[in-house]
């Protein structure tokens, strides 16, 4: 009975998964790797990365749109996921290259010699050759994959525990999350952070041992993996926000004090949502950065997390598909504008160059959406389905006695 | 009748203003108790202290057979220990349906994992229907609570209180915004609840208090001015001066 209600109550899951599957199929057929080559490999990578951004946006919507925690630090978790998988990618590939070049030597190299040579290769740019402690597991794929989950999860758990326990809420919490991601990026910028300072980790598009596989195939594989991750993440979060859990977290968003007096330990719920979404953000990052090829500390700069919030706001808070669409729409538009895809507008006295003016346009759109269409892109679907939308806020709705009316002046029964 | 809650020597100041002044109070189980007093007497603050919303500067609040101190517990722990509350201003979750509001209040495990894995049961659904029947909102279950009238929100909040199945019910001005018939219905409900549990009702409506037919505590300037039957306290000259003679 309850399973049926989950799917019938959440028709949007079905439509989302169907659209995603159709989209994946179309891209596959048109891509360079298997299809007819209408879509270039680099654009397949852009689309694959976009799917990862959609996943982290869905997670952000659960934190912000459903639970009411405006986290401006979730891209830190995304970046950490990227760093964790990047460490293995870099280590394993450098190791292969180094052992190949050392094989020519008269005396076969010992494992220590290979390890040292890998260190020199990786850390030469920051004037070092020793492996820092945090690279202890870098040679193991499975260990680093576990760290993709553990590191963002643990950071979110500790940060969230400290912040929620002392009941920091609202704008103060947002500032704290900004401080967290800023601190992380400043730390990573240092050369002795052990993660190559501002050089970051690079060459991540080259998978160790798969040099013979062309990038066109690698890109389509990552595209599929990203689509699968988005589908799984979407279903997971749709399940979390449905039913009683959804009821409680939306209650926390609207009036956390009241939820407390019903006997729910609000801090545990916030911590749960914050940590689970951080882990998913880490996984999304681990899929994103191999498709980007490089990760550096600028990726976890405070602005990245603010963009994430803007995507979700433009897409429409409080509905998962809205957040996903917002991320896709804005990030693709952004790469179109900043990539020189849009012709400049000569005004005679001044030429509008979109590479400079895109941010202004984005800022204006953000303000416009917030003021004029608070339901965002997702709100367009209400026009199609004519569904009576669930109100997002609980502040006074109606003209009288706190009663909400659908039509102004409507008679009260 | 055994004591369920005992408060002694409790004081609270807000920025130097003593809202509660050396207040002592006890209630047994089962018992029905009405609290009256002028505006600003500290009636709501008294409930805030019991439910953990406001921490007193001094005094003790002891609850239950094991005589646990409520002052060391968080709001949610106090609620889980069996203290339920209806707020003066109706506070329901306006963006959610009446059914969701009641389901959230229903007595069940409250941990995140329990809630995440919670599956609807026939018994839970029946209990919700039953409560909806009691509060007269049976055909409003699928409606968004924000659409309800003020009186219906009052009812919903009373329903949420019943759904929690608490041992101590703190009911702040339940009759506001209700019709005379609804007031009578509320009286019946509270009296029925007080057959098994401890019920504290704050109300300004004297007719309402008279129908409750129970011991009355008069609060004034943060302490107890008089206590006893309604006739007893209303004949007290001090009570007449501060409260009735307005
Ligand atoms: N959080 C607070 N900060 C400052 N002052 C407060 C606070 N809460 C209550 N007070 C003050 O304490 C006094 C008692 O308030 P309380 O709400 O308990 O009165 P009440 O008896 O419930 O009155 P009413 O009948 O109007 O509901 C009032 O003077 C009020 O202004
Ligand atoms: Mg009051």
Residue B114 CA to ligand 1 center (angstroms) comes to 37
Q: Which of A348-362, B24-38, B230-244 has the highest mean pLDDT?
A: B24-38
Residue B18 CA to ligand 1 center (angstroms) comes to 10
Q: Say if residue B14's pLDDT is above 60.
A: yes
What integer pLDDT is reported at residue A405 of this predicted model?
37
Copy the structure tokens of residue A348: 């005679």
Residue B228 main-chain phi, psi, to 5 deg: 150, -160
- H/E stretch holding B153 reads helix B150-164
Pairing, β B2-14 against β B17-29: antiparallel
Q: What is the dihedral of CA B202, B208, B210, B215, to 10 degrees?
A: -20
Number of the ligand 1 atom closest to the C-alpha atom of B40: 19
Percentage of residues of chain B with pLDDT beyond 70: 99
B188: contact with A, CB 8 A cutoff: no
Q: Say if residue A406's pLDDT is above 50.
A: no
Whole-prediction pTM: 0.90
Q: Say if residue A399's pLDDT is above 60.
A: no
ipTM score for this prediction: 0.92
Is the peptide bond between B30 and the residue preceding it cis, with omega within 30 degrees of 0? yes
Ligand 1 neighbour B223 (Cβ under 6 A): no
What residue owns the CA closest to ligand 1's atom 30?
Answer: B40
* B48 to chain A: closest CA residue: A261
What integer pLDDT is reported at residue A8 of this predicted model?
64
Q: Say if residue A347's pLDDT is above 90.
A: no
What integer pLDDT is reported at residue A401 of this predicted model?
39
Domains of chain B in sequence order = 1-81+166-245 (3.40.50.300), 87-164 (no CATH)
Give which of B54, B137, B68 is closest to B97, Cα–Cα: B137
What residue owns the CA closest to ligand 1's atom 1?
Answer: B14
Q: How far apart are CA A146 and CA A153, in angstroms?
A: 11
Considering chain A, what is the average pLDDT of its residues?
88
What is the band of B205 on the pLDDT scale with cuts at 50, 70, 90? confident
Q: Say if residue B178's pLDDT is above 50.
A: yes
What integer pLDDT is reported at residue A413 of this predicted model?
32
* Mean pLDDT, residues A131-160: 95
Question: Are B238 and B225 in contact, with CB atoms under 8 Å apart?
Answer: yes
Q: What is the dihedral of CA B99, B101, B105, B109, to 10 degrees?
A: 80
Q: Say if residue B56's pLDDT is above 50.
A: yes
What integer pLDDT is reported at residue B179 of this predicted model?
85
- Min distance B147 CA to chain A CA atoms (Å): 5
Number of the ligand 1 atom closest to the C-alpha atom of B42: 18
Domain ranges of chain A: 6-303
- H/E stretch holding A50 reads helix A41-61
* Mean pLDDT, residues A131-146: 93
What residue owns the CA closest to ligand 1's atom 22?
Answer: B44
């Amino acid at each position: 009975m309850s399973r049926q209600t989950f799917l019938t109550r959440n028709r949007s899951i079905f439509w989302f998964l169907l659209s995603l599957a159709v989209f994946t199929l179309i891209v596959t057929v048109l891509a360079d790797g298997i299809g007819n080559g209408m879509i270039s490999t680099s654009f397949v990578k852009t689309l694959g990365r976009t799917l990862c951004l959609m996943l982290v946006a869905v997670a952000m919507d659960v934190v912000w749109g459903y639970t009411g925690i405006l986290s401006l630090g979730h891209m830190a978790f995304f970046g950490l996921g990227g760093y964790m998988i990047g460490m293995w990618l870099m280590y394993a590939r450098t190791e292969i290259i180094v052992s190949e070049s050392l094989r020519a030597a008269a005396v076969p190299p010992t494992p220590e010699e290979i390890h040292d040579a890998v260190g020199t290769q990786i850390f030469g740019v920051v004037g070092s050759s020793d492996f820092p402690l945090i690279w202890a597991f870098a040679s193991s794929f499975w260990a680093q994959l576990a760290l993709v989950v553990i590191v963002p999860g643990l950071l979110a758990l500790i940060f969230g525990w400290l912040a929620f326990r002392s009941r920091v809420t609202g704008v103060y919490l947002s500032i704290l999350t900004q401080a967290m991601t800023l601190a992380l990026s400043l730390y990573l910028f240092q050369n002795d952070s052990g993660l190559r300072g501002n050089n970051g980790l690079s060459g991540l598009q080259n998978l160790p041992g798969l040099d013979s596989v062309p990038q066109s195939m690698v890109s389509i594989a990552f595209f599929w993996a990203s689509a699968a991750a988005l589908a799984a993440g979407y279903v997971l979060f749709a399940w979390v926000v449905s039913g009683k859990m959804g009821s409680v977290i939306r209650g926390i968003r609207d009036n956390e004090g009241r939820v407390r007096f019903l006997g729910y330990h609000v801090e545990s719920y916030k911590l749960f949502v914050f940590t689970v979404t951080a882990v998913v953000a880490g996984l999304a990052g681990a899929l994103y950065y191999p498709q980007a090829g490089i990760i550096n500390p600028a990726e976890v700069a405070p602005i990245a997390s603010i963009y994430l919030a803007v995507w979700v706001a433009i897409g429409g808070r409080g509905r998962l598909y809205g957040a996903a669409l917002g991320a896709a729409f804005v990030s693709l538009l952004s790469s179109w504008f900043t990539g020189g895809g849009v012709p400049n507008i000569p005004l005679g006295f001044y030429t509008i160059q979109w590479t400079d003016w895109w941010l202004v346009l984005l800022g204006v759109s953000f303000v416009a959406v917030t003021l004029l269409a608070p339901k965002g892109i997702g709100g367009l679907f209400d026009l199609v389905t004519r569904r009576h939308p669930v109100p997002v806020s609980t502040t006074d709705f109606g003209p009288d006695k706190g009663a909400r009316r659908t039509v102004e002046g409507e008679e009260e029964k | 009748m055994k004591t369920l809650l005992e408060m002694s020597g409790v004081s609270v100041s807000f920025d130097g203003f003593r809202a509660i002044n050396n207040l002592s109070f006890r209630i047994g189980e089962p018992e029905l108790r009405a609290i009256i007093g002028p505006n600003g007497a500290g009636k709501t603050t008294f409930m805030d202290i019991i439910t953990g919303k406001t921490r007193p500067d001094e005094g003790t609040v002891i609850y239950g057979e094991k005589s646990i101190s409520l002052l060391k517990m968080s709001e949610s722990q106090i609620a889980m220990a069996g203290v339920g509350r209806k707020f003066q201003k109706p506070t329901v979750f306006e963006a959610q349906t009446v059914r969701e509001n009641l389901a959230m209040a229903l007595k069940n495990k409250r941990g995140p994992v329990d809630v995440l894995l919670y599956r609807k049961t026939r018994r839970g659904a029946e209990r919700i229907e039953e409560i909806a029947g009691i509060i007269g909102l049976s055909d409003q279950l699928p409606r968004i609570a924000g659409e309800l009238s003020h009186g219906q929100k009052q009812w919903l909040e009373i329903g949420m209180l019943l759904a929690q199945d608490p041992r101590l019910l703190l009911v702040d001005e339940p009759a506001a915004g209700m019709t005379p018939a609804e007031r009578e219905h509320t009286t019946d409900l509270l009296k029925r609840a007080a057959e098994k549990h401890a019920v504290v009702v704050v109300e300004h409506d004297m007719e309402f208090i008279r129908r409750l037919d129970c011991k009355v505590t008069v609060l004034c300037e943060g302490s107890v001015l008089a206590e006893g039957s309604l006739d007893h306290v209303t004949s007290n000259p001090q009570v007449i001066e501060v409260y009735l003679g307005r």
